[in-house]
């Protein structure tokens, strides 16, 4: 059964039942009479909690990302790709160049990708898979 009511008092009460933790505490601390409508409640709630939203990812994030000191190249590649997927309209060539630039110097993957720069993230992934196979073989030997 859907709640189809234009009664703003009911909307406020129903909306407030979804609160828990800090949101419930915030709601309980509102001054009586400080809200006159559901729109007031909605606006006040959004003002309170909109800062908690994660900022959209941008190309700046790709320029800042770096491989951790003890981070395995495979884990770093996945973290980098996950970030790329969060950014709207990423140029694959720029992303590939930033990936190479952010790798730890001296690693087998860095050496492989700097000898002949990759043309896009698809090539990075393909060549990285080959390097990872070599690394896994070395670890087993």
Q: How many CB atoms lie within 10 A of CB 98?
A: 20
Mean pLDDT, residues 54-78: 92
23 and 91 share one domain: no
Mean pLDDT value across the chain: 85
Could you tell me the residue range of the domain that residue 99 belongs to? 59-140
pLDDT value of residue 1: 40
The winner for highest mean pLDDT among 9-18, 48-57, 104-113 is 104-113
DSSP letter for each residue of 81-115: HHHHHTSTT--HHHHHHHHHHHSPTTSHHHHHHHH
Answer whether 99's CB lies under 8 Å from 119's CB.
no
Estimate the crossing angle of helix 121-140 against helix 108-115, to 10 degrees. Answer: 140
- The residue ranking higher by pLDDT, 2 or 7, is 7
Inform me whether the pLDDT recorded for 4 exceeds 70.
Answer: no
pLDDT value of residue 5: 52
Question: Is residue 3 a part of any domain in this protein?
Answer: no
113 and 136 share one domain: yes
Inform me whether the pLDDT recorded for 13 exceeds 60.
Answer: yes
**DSSP designation for 30:** S
Q: CA-CA distance, 39 to 31, in Å (whole number)? A: 16
Inform me whether the pLDDT recorded for 141 exceeds 90.
Answer: no
Report residue 138 as tokens. 């070395």
48 and 101 share one domain: no
Inform me whether the pLDDT recorded for 120 exceeds 90.
Answer: yes
67 and 88 share one domain: yes
Q: CA-CA distance, 86 to 56, in Å (whole number)? A: 8
pLDDT value of residue 2: 47
Q: What percent of the chain has pLDDT over 90?
A: 51
63 and 48 share one domain: no
Q: Which contiguous run of DSSP H or E holds residue 59?
A: helix 59-64
Question: How much of the chain is in helix, strand and coil states, percent to nearest 5?
Answer: 65, 0, 35
Q: CA-CA distance, 53 to 60, in Å (whole number)? A: 18
**Which residue do the tokens 């043309």 mark?**
119
Inform me whether the pLDDT recorded for 75 exceeds 90.
Answer: yes
pLDDT digits (tens, 9 = 90+) for 14-60: 777 877 777 777 778 878 888 787 787 778 777 777 766 677 899 99
Q: 0.85 cut: is pTM over it?
A: no
């Amino acid at each position: 059964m859907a709640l189809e009511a234009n009664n703003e008092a009911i909307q406020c009460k129903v909306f407030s039942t979804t609160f828990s933790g800090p949101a419930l505490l915030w709601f309980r601390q509102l001054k009586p009479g400080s809200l006159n409508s559901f729109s007031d409640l909605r606006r006040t709630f959004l003002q309170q909690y909109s800062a908690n939203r994660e900022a959209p990812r941008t190309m700046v994030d790709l320029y800042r990302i770096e491989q951790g000191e003890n981070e395995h190249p495979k884990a770093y590649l996945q973290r980098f790709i996950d970030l790329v997927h969060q950014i709207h309209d990423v140029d694959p060539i720029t992303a590939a160049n930033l990936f190479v630039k952010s790798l730890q110097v001296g690693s087998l993957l860095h050496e492989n990708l700097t000898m002949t720069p990759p043309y896009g993230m698809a090539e990075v992934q393909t060549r990285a898979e080959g390097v990872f196979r070599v690394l896994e073989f070395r670890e087993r030997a």
